[in-house]
């Protein structure tokens, strides 16, 4: 909690995780990776504009659903169409993305 007197002399902004909120809340569909079709090429990792895909221990890409906005670029770029954009529904909450 900042007060008027805690503000720095020059207005500055610092890099801060989730500075504008948990952006995973913005998505209406989420990328789901089918391990059978995935060839671990990591093209999805390369194209994610927010850098939210990482390689897990098995070598498969893993999406950080806390911040994934569901833009669908990964699904669009996947050469084997192993990524499907699944609609988020009322009944199933966003995984890891609903911290209020």
Partner 1 sequence: MNLIKMLTANDAVAYAVKLARVQVVAAYPITPQTASVEKISEFIENGELQAEFICVESEHSASSAVIGASACGVRTFTATSSQGLALMHEMLHWAAGTRVPIVMYVVNRALSAPWSIWCDHQDSLSQRDTGWMQFYAEDNQELLDTVLMNYKISEDKEVHLPSMVCADAFTLSHATTPVDIPSQREVDEFLPPYTPELTLDNIENPVTYVPTCSPTRPSSDWYMEYKYLQNESMAEALKKIKEVCREFKEKFGRFHGDLLEQYRCRDAEVVIMSMGSFAAQAKDVVDEMRDEGYPVGAVKLRTFRPFPVDDVRELATKTKAIAVVDRGLSFGHCGQAFMEVKSALYNSSHKPLVKGYTLGLGGRDIKTSDQRHVIEQTFKDLEKGFAAKESEWVSLRLEGPEK
Partner 2 sequence: MIEVRWHGRGGQGAVVASRILALAAYQDGYKGVQAFPFFGMERRGAPVLAFTRVSKSDIRIRNQVYEPDVIVVLDPLLPKIVDVDRGLKPKGYIVLNSRQKPSEVKWAKNYKTATVDAISISKKLNLKVAGFQVFNTPMLGALARATKLVKIASVKKAILDYFGEKRGKTNSEAAEIAYENTFSSEGQE
Binding positions for partner 2, rule: CB under 8 A? 23, 25-28, 69-70, 88, 90, 93-94, 98, 100
Residue 2 binds which entry of partner 2, partner 1, none, CB below 5-8 Å type-dependent: partner 1
Cβ proximity to partner 2, 28 vs 34, nearer residue: 28
Task: Answer yes or no: are the C-beta atoms of 5 and 64 closer than 8 Å.
Answer: no
Cα–Cα distance measured from residue 2 to residue 41, given in angstroms and rounded to the nearest whole number: 45
How near is the Cβ of 60 to partner 2 at its closest, in Å?
26
11 forms part of the interface with partner 1 (CB under 8 A): yes
17 forms part of the interface with partner 1 (CB under 8 A): no
Residue 100 binds which entry of partner 2, partner 1, none, CB below 5-8 Å type-dependent: partner 2
The two tokens of residue 27 are 């998505």
β partners of residue 55: 61
Task: Answer yes or no: are the C-beta atoms of 39 and 80 closer than 8 Å.
Answer: yes
The two tokens of residue 12 are 């500055």
* Pairing verdict, β 83-87 and 29-33: antiparallel
15 forms part of the interface with partner 1 (CB under 8 A): no
4 forms part of the interface with partner 1 (CB under 8 A): yes
């Amino acid at each position: 909690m900042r007060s008027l007197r805690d503000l720095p002399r020059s207005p500055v902004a610092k890099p801060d995780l989730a500075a504008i909120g948990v952006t995973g809340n913005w998505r209406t569909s989420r990328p789901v990776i089918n391990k059978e079709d995935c060839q671990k090429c990591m093209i999805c990792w390369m194209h994610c504009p927010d850098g939210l895909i990482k390689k897990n221990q098995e070598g498969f890409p893993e999406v950080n659903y806390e911040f994934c906005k569901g833009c669908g670029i990964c699904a669009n770029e996947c050469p084997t169409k192993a990524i499907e954009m699944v609609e988020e529904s009322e009944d199933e909450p966003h995984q890891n993305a609903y911290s209020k």
